[in-house]
Amino acid sequence: MTPILFQEKKNCCGCYACVSICPEHAIIMTADDEGFLYPMIQEGQCTGCGLCKKVCLFQTGYCKTPEKGWPIVIAAKHKSEEVRRQSSSGGAFTAVSDYILQLNGVIYGAAFDEQHNVIHDRAETEAARNRFRGSKYVQSHIGDNFQRIERDLKDGRYVLFTGTPCQSAGIKSYLELKRTEVSRLVLCDLVCHGTPSPLLWREHIRSIEQHYQSKVKDYCCRSKVNGWHSHTEEVELDNGTVNYASTFVQKHKNIFYAHVALRPSCHCCIYTTLQRTSDITIADFWGIEKVMPDFDDNKGVSLIILHNSKGKEIFESSEKYLDYRLSTERDCIQPQLQYPSVASPKRAVFWEDYCRRGYSYVVKKYAGVGSRAKIRAGIIKILQRTGALGMVKAILRSSST
């Protein structure tokens, strides 16, 4: 009998563990109307072994009892200003991955491909690893990387896997069922706000290229051009234009924070806790300006949470790259370390609007694109109507001289 992989979409996080474990290659990932990938069993190929159900920690339950003395909480900044500039927070990922590369290890992380899709990939050099720096506010495509990690471990390589908590739990469960030796595996997860739709991300890139009549060359989901505390997205186009100021470029971020397009499972995530299946958790140390104001320079501070002795060993081997201070669980607590992101009550209506009226409509309605222009036009009309426009222009001219 063909097993049912999940009863509701909220019960699947799309981590690829079931696809990877299937010995018959009977499971494929298919996108739904919202662009999220879900596993589907191909009729006639399933032998009913049940491994796909056993590997799924998201459904079978997740229980992680806190161990005495753990976790250890650290605030850290990379000693290199350039590394911090190219990182979303304080550069902790670069420090940890540099140590793994020194051991002739391999790094797995999320990167943009040539079409600006977010995929998980493998790196053996610093240059290749650097593609994994920075936040990507869209769910990544895992592909066959679980099998690649398995092969690397069997070849005796050190492996650092970085990803969302559910992806990290997925690879751990997969390797346990495959009875793979994991002493050289380091799992590093993130404090995750939720994963937006890959479909809307593609729409975002396409709309920018149409609006500016140029291909996107590079995209930064968390530019520090306005400082670390300001979430600013920045795009570089083939024609040389760099834009971070317009509301049009920020629309993907606005939809992300509106909670109208996150994956359904993100709203009931079981990993929004300090107790993780990973060895290390890294994130932005939000609130550092309150608990360690002298350590915050608005250039980025990493939160590092060590969950076990392996994580502590890796940190101690990487600390030479970092300026750091010990912190506490109380001082590092963020919303996504306590509870999942709450779905917007407008989520269903958002997707109805998208299906009926398209991307441009929902961007204007839910992301505020065009609102500033409307306000500005309205102000100008009022000034014209009252005869005050000329006076305002005169004041502005005199103040600029």
pLDDT band at residue 3 under the 50/70/90 scheme: confident
pLDDT in tens, 121-165: 999 999 999 999 999 999 899 999 999 999 999 999 999 999 999
pLDDT at position 277 is 86
Q: Are 187 and 173 in contact (CB under 8 A)?
A: no
Separation of alpha carbons 188 and 278, rounded Å: 6
CATH 3.30.70.20 residue ranges for the chain: 9-60
Q: How many CA atoms lie within 13 A of 245 on its CB side?
A: 2
Alpha carbons 54 and 376: distance in angstroms, whole number: 57
Residue 400: band (very low, low, confident or very high) from pLDDT cuts 50, 70, 90: very low
Nearest to 272 by CA among 192, 154, 348, 195: 192
pLDDT confidence of residue 132: 96
* Mean model confidence pLDDT for the chain: 90
- How far apart, in whole angstroms, are the C-alpha atoms of residue 367 and residue 376? 17
pLDDT recorded at residue 61: 65
Strand partners, 185: 159
User: What pLDDT does 377 receive?
Assistant: 40
Residue range 287-304: mean pLDDT, rounded? 96
For 9-60, CATH number? 3.30.70.20
Place of tokens 């999320």: 110
From residue 61, give the alpha-carbon distance in Å to each of 102, 106, 157, 169, 172: 37, 30, 30, 11, 14
Judge whether 221 and 201 are in contact, CB under 8 Å: no
- Check whether 395 has a pLDDT greater than 90: no
88 pLDDT higher than 90: yes
pLDDT tens for 195-253 read 999 999 999 999 999 999 999 999 999 999 999 999 999 999 999 999 998 888 999 99
Q: What are all long-range contacts of 328-333, with beta carbons under 8 Å and residues at least 24 apart?
A: 328/73, 329/71, 329/73, 329/274, 331/73, 331/287, 331/291, 332/73, 332/285, 332/287, 332/303, 332/305, 333/274
Q: What is the β-pairing status of strands 27-31 and 322-326?
A: unpaired
Top-confidence residue, 58 or 399 = 58
Identify the pLDDT of residue 5. 87
40: which strand partners?
28
pTM for the model stands at 0.88
